[in-house]
Amino acid sequence: MRETFTKGMARNIYYGGAVFFFLVLIGLTVDTVNRLPATDNRENLTEEVAAGKRLWEINNCIGCHTLLGEGAYFAPELGNVYTRFGESTEAIKAFIKFRPVDGIEGRRSMPQFNLTDEELEELAQFLKYVDGIKTARDWPPNIQG
Amino acid sequence: MKYESQGVAKLYFIAAIALFVGQILFGVTMGLQYVMGDFLFPEIPFNVARMVHTNLLIVWLLFGFMGSAYFLVPEEAERELFSPMLAKVMFWIFLVAGALTILGYLLVPYARLAELTMNDLLPTMGREFLEQPTITKIGIVIVALAFIFNIGMTVLTGRKTVINLVLLTGLVGLAVFFLFSFYNPDNLVLDKYFWWFVVHLWVEGVWELIMASLLAYVLIKVTGVDREVIEKWLYIIIAMALISGLVGTGHHFFWIGTAAYWQWLGSIFSALEPIPFFMMTLFAFNVVNKRRRDHPNKAAVLWALGTAVMAFLGAGVWGFLHTLAPVNFYTHGTQITAAHGHMAFYGAYVMVVLTMISYSMPLMRGQKAANETAQKIEIRSFWIMTLSMVAITLLLTGAGVMQVYLQRYAEDALPFMVVQDELAIFYWLREVAGLAFLTGLFMYIYSFFAKGKEVADVA
């Protein structure tokens, strides 16, 4: 690099830029969090949904599925599964409940998690709540996720 | 090696390479599960294999960063490490905790592991990359604090170079942002938003500081170019990394229920994210061309150049490919993301650690550089691993483009699983490339044991 551009100038750009944009990120974060009530479907965030989220976590569902596009790409997107399953929590529950223990020969298969009926209901309610989150442009692009 | 205490790095590097092998073994397992869905089912279902694959990657990179810091910091600070003993103790604690966690993933169902580790007290498990039991996360924080204390005391009581200070900043940032992994609200949007404060601010933020400082260190050593010149580059590269990367976090906030303005902010700032990586490539080639000596460790020079190029391609170009909101609308959460993830992690972080290992291992074994045969094998392993990763990335990109079209773009969009069947050929070829990568990795390991003619000492 040219001599006129000194190390001191480079250092100042680093410190100045880092501090400035970190503050910008904090400011935007505050604003984003303040706007969340309009989109994050918190009115439907019940105890049951919270319990469902915990089940979602402790069974590592994200290890195969995406949820709002984040996760693994081995199994279908579940952010809109409630819509895709005809807005039926019963259909979601039945799908999870009847997974064969030993899988399906030659095919990908979801494990049998042996959830109780109560747990199935919680998990289904969680997925219904996620479906109610207002994502920008109503992502995903279509019902297939 | 100027200071005896630098030698603790060897332990860290050996562990890093061993865990790297584990990571790739699980990688090829998952690759096969993509096309033979019942492979190892239900013993090792895909989600478990993936968790092991990604967690081993994170853990071995952390071992690599720590080993690199222990090697580099004393030399830069011109003093022995503050406490070599603490470094050794922390090594064993981290290794045992890491091994137990991985065994936990493999030996008991994940829900049972959550129960055994009392996840209910402070639920943090079950989020991508942060699957570790809460107790392991607390262990990571303790190890990180002890490590930063050790490194920090060495830096602050010794000669303060730009490389040391940037590295220390990066390491402190790594520890600080990890604390967000303990925040797990029931509100999914909030959860996702702050999850990125660990994941994005690590890999597209503070890790870039670590990477750039390691690369700068090796380049000073192997080229003999004036420190002033290299430090100026280092500052401007990390300046661009943070200027683009901090608000660039927004490219993760397009479709998770956050405000729509992120589509603009995220697109604009993340479109700048390739710049620091491009500068890193310019920097590396520039200083190697202006080198004042021909270092006998040719393998290390190749790794350093390779890191710059592959980081630019993987993190820069493949990131840009799908970072603009109108594109990302279709590609978000498809094989395109997987393609980018593979090449970015390999190019930026795997390769920079291997660069450090390549440079420092011979010194810790009492040589200037590995013998000629060993270097030849190492260089060949560089090409096999790198080209295999290019192949994996291209194949996953192919799969991703087709997936986007069939599942998201076409008039009559097809269901996910139907589309996956259509992509089988890409996945099979990717598996072949994965096995080639594994072969390259074994060759890399063999290079440490190969006997041959010692290199001429031209340095």
Average pLDDT, chain B: 97
CB contact under 8 A, A103 and B242: no
Distance CA B320, CA B244 (A): 12
Chain A residues closer than 8 Å to B263 by CB: 136
Torsion, Cα A76 A82 A88 A92, to 10 degrees, reads 40
- The two structure tokens encoding residue A110: 């979801």
Distance CA B217, CA B223 (A): 10
Distance CA A140, CA B195 (A): 20
Amino acid identity for residue B395 in this structure: L
Q: Do residues B88 and B11 touch, judged by C-beta distance below 8 A?
A: yes
Residue B170 pLDDT exceeds 50: yes
Distance CA B266, CA B253 (A): 8
CB contact under 8 A, A40 and B187: yes
Per-residue pLDDT at B35: 98
Provide the residue ranges of all domains of chain B, joining segments of one domain with +.
1-160
Chain B residues closer than 8 Å to A129 by CB: 188
pTM for the full model? 0.97
Nearest-by-Cβ selection for A141 from B34, B265, B408: B408
Chain A residues closer than 8 Å to B258 by CB: 32, 35-36, 39, 136
Instruction: Identify which of B109, B41, B46, B39 has the alpha carbon closest to the alpha carbon of residue A102.
Output: B41
Residue A58 pLDDT exceeds 90: yes
Burial status of residue B222 (CB atoms within 10 A of its CB: 0-12, 13-18, 19 or more): buried
CB contact under 8 A, B126 and A56: yes
CB contact under 8 A, B34 and A129: no
Q: Do residues A70 and B122 touch, judged by C-beta distance below 8 A?
A: no
Residue A110 C-alpha, separation from nearest chain B C-alpha, in angstroms: 8
* pLDDT, average across residues B28-33: 98
Nearest-by-Cβ selection for A10 from B125, B186, B235: B235
**Residue A2 forms contact with B (CB below 8 Å):** no
pLDDT band at residue B456 using 50, 70 and 90 as cut-offs: confident
Separation of CA B53 from chain center: 12
Distance CA B89, CA B172 (A): 20
* pLDDT, average across residues B404-416: 97
Whether ipTM > 0.90 holds is: yes
Q: Strand, coil or helix: what is B405? A: helix
Q: Residue B293 to residues A23, B126, B231: CA-CA distances in angstroms? A: 43, 51, 19
At A14-39, the pLDDT tens digits run 999 999 999 999 999 999 999 999 99
Q: Computed from CA positions of residues B288, B289, B290, B291, in that sequence, does the dihedral angle turn out positive or negative?
A: positive
DSSP A71: E
Distance CA B301, CA B9 (A): 20
Nearest CA in chain B to A51: B186
**Residue A31 forms contact with B (CB below 8 Å):** yes
**Residue A125 forms contact with B (CB below 8 Å):** no
The residue to which tokens 């000194």 are assigned:
A6
CB contact under 8 A, B188 and A130: yes
Distance CA B360, CA B376 (A): 17
At B267-303, the pLDDT tens digits run 999 999 999 999 999 999 999 999 999 999 999 999 9
The length of chain A in residues reads 145
- The two structure tokens encoding residue B137: 């996360």
Nearest-by-Cβ selection for B330 from A35, A71, A141: A141
Nearest-by-Cβ selection for A70 from B110, B333, B417: B333
Residue B457 pLDDT exceeds 70: no
Q: How many Cβ atoms sit within 10 Å of the Cβ of residue B166?
A: 23
Nearest CA in chain A to B228: A7
**Percent of chain B at pLDDT exceeding 90:** 99
- The two structure tokens encoding residue B25: 């073994």
Amino acid identity for residue B239 in this structure: A
Per-residue pLDDT at B100: 97
Nearest CA in chain B to A24: B247
**Residue B48 forms contact with A (CB below 8 Å):** yes
Amino acid identity for residue B121 in this structure: L
Residue A37 C-alpha, separation from nearest chain B C-alpha, in angstroms: 10
Residue A30 C-alpha, separation from nearest chain B C-alpha, in angstroms: 12
CB contact under 8 A, A24 and B415: no
CB contact under 8 A, B42 and A61: no
Q: Do residues A50 and B33 touch, judged by C-beta distance below 8 A?
A: no
**Residue B409 forms contact with A (CB below 8 Å):** yes
Nearest-by-Cβ selection for A72 from B47, B114, B265: B47
Residues paired with A71 in a beta bridge: A66
Per-residue pLDDT at B427: 98
The length of chain B in residues reads 459
Residue B381 C-alpha, separation from nearest chain A C-alpha, in angstroms: 29
Residue B253 pLDDT exceeds 80: yes
Instruction: Identify which of B212, B229, B367, B226 has the alpha carbon closest to the alpha carbon of residue B292.
Output: B226
Stretch (H or E) spanning B134: helix B134-156
CB contact under 8 A, A36 and B187: yes
Per-residue pLDDT at B459: 46
At B69-126, the pLDDT tens digits run 999 999 999 999 999 999 999 999 999 999 999 999 999 999 999 999 999 999 999 9
Residues 341-400 of B with CB under 8 A from A: none
Amino acid identity for residue A130 in this structure: V
Chain B residues closer than 8 Å to A66 by CB: 333
CA atoms within a 13 Å half-sphere pointing along the CA-CB vector of B56: 24
Distance CA B240, CA B279 (A): 9
Picking from B112, B236, B247, B406 by the largest number of A CB atoms within 10 A of its own CB, the best residue to mutate is B236
* pLDDT, average across residues A96-116: 97
Chain B residues closer than 8 Å to A24 by CB: 246-247
Residues paired with A67 in a beta bridge: A70
Burial status of residue B361 (CB atoms within 10 A of its CB: 0-12, 13-18, 19 or more): buried
Per-residue pLDDT at A1: 53
Output B2-7 pairs: Cβ under 8 A, ≥24 positions apart: B2/B74, B2/B75, B3/B74, B3/B75, B3/B79, B3/B80, B3/B81, B4/B80, B4/B84, B5/B70, B5/B74, B5/B80, B5/B81, B5/B84, B5/B87, B6/B70, B6/B71, B6/B74, B6/B75, B6/B81, B6/B360, B6/B363, B6/B364, B7/B364
Per-residue pLDDT at A2: 58
Residues 268-327 of B with CB under 8 A from A: none
- The two structure tokens encoding residue A76: 């279908």
CB contact under 8 A, B259 and A32: yes
Stretch (H or E) spanning B69: helix B46-77
